[in-house]
Amino acid sequence: MTQTLLHQILDYANRADPYPIYEELRRTPVHHEADGPYVISTYYEIRSLLHDPRISSDARNLASNSADPLAESTSEETALPPGFLRLDPPEHDRMRRMTNRHFGPPHSPHRVDGMRPELHDIVAGLIDGLGDPGRIDLVEQFSYPFPVTVICRLLGVPREDEARFHTWADTLAASLDPDPDADPADRGKGAAEARMQLGMYLAGLIEERRKNPGDDMLSQLAATKSEDGQMTTMELLSTAALLLIAGHETTVNLITNGMLTLLRNPDVLQRLRTEPRLAVPLVEELLRFEPPVQLLPQRTPLADIEVRGVTIPKGSSIWLVLASGNRDPQRFENPDRFDPDRPDIQHLGLGSGIHSCFGAPLARLEAQLALSELARRLENPRLLDDPPPYRQNAVLRGPRHLRIACDGIRP
């Protein structure tokens, strides 16, 4: 039986290379199958909708009769309320401002850049500990432990608790992108249990930080009062959970996709080894070429809207396929070519508009440092599996393992 385009996107068989499907998808910029979601795949339409105040991120505005295959996995009420990424203004704006006081300008302008020496030390230590250069799993030994160590230190999560958090994060990330053949009830139950356990853990950690505050971000979020007020306990729980999970899941993919892309483009890898400043435009091109978040499901119009001559009814489910927009030939010349010298890389890899990636400055810095040091220190690195095995997730797309070998590791 011929699969619909929507099912082809979710089908694991296409995870290693979904881009031919996206190319076909762009032939119908507003793609709609039966009672399913409206799938938007072209750059200018996606960017416009990301800035459109009529588009809601709050699942409560999704019509109850919407047949979105991803809606089942996230509709169930859990112990944690939605994070601010799943809220609309003015609640979203208030929560984001309160969180950003301790993360970026204008109140904390040096927080991310001030972490640079610590990030470099973490990267150096992980590369030092890679062990046998003939068989390295870059995900398990580097791409995962680096960002999870960083976000846990930033928030004040004890190092010994990182393994517990890893299990919960994997379960919640998997719930974003269900296996079409899996039982939705079982999937929803697993996600609800993970959210409950994560919520209980964070509640205990927040109570400890209130009694014994430190200089970590969680202590500051718990204590600070501003013109927007003070976070309630439930708001603090949902924000902490969002930062913990979003703060590492996407960066793992960004670093892993980055190294995979460099190994497939050895001329660029060699340039990075000798031109460290290339890291900045290289990461921007990587965010276009292989974005860690492939699509944004569960956007909802608050009124009937028209996109490319198609009327999308109020309450419908909309998917914005960022990875397809990033390869749109109407916006990017030779879009399937990886080119860090590409001018004007205004990609959609970190979203856009009010819901643009909150942790973008940290993610960019982590990827720049990680890829630069891997390029500099690994001698003659090469892939052992190509394509590598991928995670099941089509939303947060990245290799589950990246097995490589090299001739040695430079000091």
Higher pLDDT pick, 188 / 282 = 282
Q: Is the preceding peptide bond at 90 cis, omega within 30 degrees of 0? A: yes
- What type of residue sits at position 170? D
Which among 319, 353, 174, 189 has a CA at the least distance from the CA of 249? 174
User: Is there a contact between 92 and 354 (Cβ–Cβ < 8 Å)?
Assistant: yes
Residue 282 per-residue DSSP state: H
Contacts with 195 (C-beta within 8 Å, 6 or more apart), sequence order:
78, 79, 80, 168, 172, 241
Distance of CA 328 to the CA centre of its chain: 21
Q: What is the pLDDT of residues 344-387, one digit of tens each?
A: 889 999 999 999 998 999 999 999 999 999 999 999 999 999 99
- Predicted TM-score of the model (pTM): 0.91
Cα 232 to the chain's mean position, in Å? 26
pLDDT of amino acid 185: 58
Half-sphere exposure (Cβ direction) of 214: Cα atoms closer than 13 Å: 14
Q: Is-contact 387 16, C-beta < 8 A?
A: yes
Q: Pairing mode, if any, of strands 38-40 and 318-320?
A: parallel
Tokens representing 212 are 């014994």
Higher pLDDT: 322 or 6? It is: 322
In sequence order, the 6+-apart residues with CB closer than 8 A to the CB of 210 are 219, 222, 223
Give tens-digit pLDDT for 133-182. 999 999 999 999 999 889 888 988 887 887 777 778 777 766 665 455 55
The predicted model gives 14-23 an average pLDDT of: 97
Mean pLDDT of the 93-108 span: 89
Q: Which residues of 386-407 are buried (b: 16+ CB within 10 A; e: fewer)?
A: eebebbbbbbbbbbebbbbebe
Length of the chain: 411
Closest CA to 279 of 308, 249, 254, 303: 254
pLDDT in tens, 33-76: 888 899 999 999 999 999 999 999 998 999 865 656 555 443 33
pLDDT band at 210 (very low <50, low <70, confident <90, very high): confident
In this structure, are residues 353 and 51 in contact, taking their beta carbons and an 8 Å threshold?
A: yes
- For the cut 80, the answer to whether the pLDDT of residue 18 exceeds it is yes
| Contact between 329 and 19 (Cβ < 8 Å) | no
CB 175 within 8 A of CB 190: yes
State the CB neighbour count (10 A cutoff) for residue 331. Answer: 19
Can you spell out the DSSP letters for 8-38?
HHH-GGGSS--HHHHHHHTTSSEEE-TTSPE
Instruction: Give pLDDT, residue 77.
Output: 39
- Give the CA radius of gyration of the chain: 21
CB atoms within 10 A of CB 109: 10
User: What is the per-residue pLDDT for 68?
Assistant: 62
Whether the Cβ atoms of residue 340 and residue 261 lie closer than 8 Å to each other: no
Asked if 390 contacts 400 with a C-beta cutoff of 8 angstroms, the reply is: yes
Report the range of poorest mean pLDDT among 73-82, 116-125, 185-194: 73-82
Cα separation, 379 vs 375, in Å, equals 8
The residue whose two tokens read 């995979």 is 260
Asked if 41 and 26 touch (Cβ cutoff 8 Å), the reply is yes
3-state secondary structure of 383: strand
Site of tokens 């500990």: 129
| pLDDT value of position 298 | 83
pLDDT at 30 over 70: yes
The pLDDT of 22-26, averaged and rounded, is 97
CATH superfamily of the domain spanning 5-409: Cytochrome P450 (1.10.630.10)
> Domain boundaries in the chain?
5-409
Handedness of CA 362, 363, 367, 370 (dihedral sign): positive
**Residue 252 · residue 398 · CB < 8 Å:** yes
